Amino acid sequence: MKSIGINGYGTIGKRVADAVSAQDDMKIVGVTKRTPDYEAKAAVEKGYDLYISVPERESQFEEAGIEVAGTADELFEKLDLVVDCTPGGIGAQNKTDIYEKIGLKAIFEGGEDHDAIGSSFNAEANYADNIGEDYVRVVSCNTTGLCRTLKPIYDISGIKKVRAVMVRRGADPSDVKKGPINSIVPTTEVPSHHGPDVQTIIDDINVMTMALLVPTTLMHTHNIMVELEDKITTDDVLDAFENAHRVLPVQKSLKLGSTAEIMEYAKDLGRSRGDMYEIPVWKESVNIENGELFYMQAVHQESDVVPENVDAIRAMLELEEDGEKSILKTNKAMGIL
């Protein structure tokens, strides 16, 4: 039973904590928090020991009636591995300033650069490469989403070139400060950074991406066009998606024709926090014309990377050598279809 900690109990951190707790070969020893807010309160109510990142604020937590178990540094000493879910850029600092100094293995999230961490992770695509690694980056929600569906296509057909337009939600559901309220905001750096990031996982795929922000909080969507190497059929692709891990073909004709209805479906399935860990692909959108495959998928930005974090822990701590077995074990514990 390996001892895991979460540094940064926020949108991703709290989900990884729950996912780790659902496994039988690892457990959460504690989580860290900077601010005494309702998330901190809920963490303690849920039974997690709470360690504070800013020791001077202990009295603030006391005033808010939130029990503190110690400081972040005290937590780190008790761990086999820390999952760093701090905001983008902080993780890389923590790596050099803290984890390397005390010899603590660490996972980082997609807000960090590949080069700063050294290794990037997607369970389906490169589990084996990360066995025993000390520092690993689980790639971002969007890169994870692209890898999940491109890998199976790559395996059955080969890929000449991928073009994708990423339609991104403006803010996370509980973020009420960020807009836009009524506007489309293009990311004018074209191609966007999403394409090259896929290559940190599958290095010989050529992926060109464009991205934009829209006024929704629910999910991103990806509009994907793939020039195929081999001649395959739409059914081949649908089969590949059905057989892939953490990919969920859905049907508009069953009233799953939008990100909102998919989020409702995740609630109906009884998922923790209503999360959708899989990448839903709209079956009706899958179509091949003149050797080019078109499809549309959605990405639940808060949760698709969560099972990947669990698998990364298993690889890094050498709890399981076979990626496929880890994926199935994680899925079963989390109720993934």
DSSP class of residue 184 equals: -
Nearer to a copy of itself, 152 or 249 (CB): 249
49-57, 238-246, 284-292, 308-316 -> range binding a copy of itself (CB under 8 A): 284-292
46: tokens are 């849920």
Rounded to the nearest angstrom, the gap between the alpha carbon of residue 316 and the centroid of all alpha carbons in its chain is 17
Beta bridge partners of 52: 33, 71
Beta bridge partners of 51: 32, 70
Annotated ligand binding at 194? The verdict is: yes
Q: Kindly tell me which residue out of 70, 111, 196, 274 binds a copy of itself, with binding defined by CB under 8 A.
A: 274
DSSP class of residue 12 equals: H
* Interacting residues with a copy of itself between 2 and 61 (CB under 8 A): 14, 35-39, 41-42, 45-46
Nearer to a copy of itself, 158 or 257 (CB): 257
Contact 239, 271 (CB under 8 A): no
Annotated ligand binding at 35? The verdict is: no
Nearest to 35 by CA among 16, 14, 58, 19: 58
Please pick, among 44, 81, 92, 141, the residue that the annotation labels catalytic: 141
Annotated ligand binding at 111? The verdict is: yes
* Interacting residues with a copy of itself between 105 and 164 (CB under 8 A): 163
For 264, the 3-state DSSP assignment is helix
202 contact partners, CB below 8 Å, separation of at least 6? 125, 126, 147, 150, 151, 154
Q: Kindly tell me which residue out of 156, 294, 319, 333 binds a copy of itself, with binding defined by CB under 8 A.
A: 294
State the nearest-atom distance from the C-beta of 63 to a copy of itself, in Å.
10
Amino acid at 92: A
Confirm whether 141 is a catalytic residue: yes
* Interacting residues with a copy of itself between 170 and 229 (CB under 8 A): 170-171, 173-186, 188-191, 208, 210, 212, 214-219, 221, 223, 225
Binding string to a copy of itself for residues 231 to 270, with x set by CB under 8 A, is what?
-------------------xxx-xxxxxxxx-xxx-xxxx
Contact 152, 293 (CB under 8 A): no
Contact 201, 207 (CB under 8 A): no
Q: Which residues are annotated as a binding site?
A: 11-12, 111, 140-142, 169, 194-195, 301
Q: Which residues are annotated as a binding site for NAD(+)?
A: 11-12, 111, 169, 301
Q: Among all residues, which ones are annotated catalytic? A: 141
